[in-house]
Amino acid sequence: MEWNLISPCTIGLTLRYSIFIRDDHWGQRRLVVHELAHTMQYERLGSIEAFLKQYLHECITIGYPAAPMVQEAKRIEREMCV
């Protein structure tokens, strides 16, 4: 089964304390804040396993743009980057 969670459209990815940003998007403050919000979610949920279980479930069942964890990161991004 192919889920296409990482695609050519992926510009940032957070794996706990590691944040990966595509070279052509480095320096975009909103993206860095968005990925840091995901780091906060990792900490709140207590483990990589708990984060991925919730995040992937939301992305697969609801869809990435509407997933609550993504929406929370987007809200933080908007608040911090006015």
Q: What is the pLDDT of residues 11-55, one digit of tens each?
A: 888 888 899 999 999 889 999 999 999 999 999 999 999 999 999
Does the pLDDT value for residue 5 go beyond 80?
no
Closest to 70 (Cα-Cα) out of 49, 41, 30? 41
Per DSSP (E only), the strands in the chain are 12-15, 18-21
Does the pLDDT value for residue 2 go beyond 60?
no
pTM confidence score? 0.85
Query: How far apart (Å, rounded) are the C-alpha atoms in residues 82 and 56?
Result: 29
Q: What tokens does 11 get? A: 């510009």
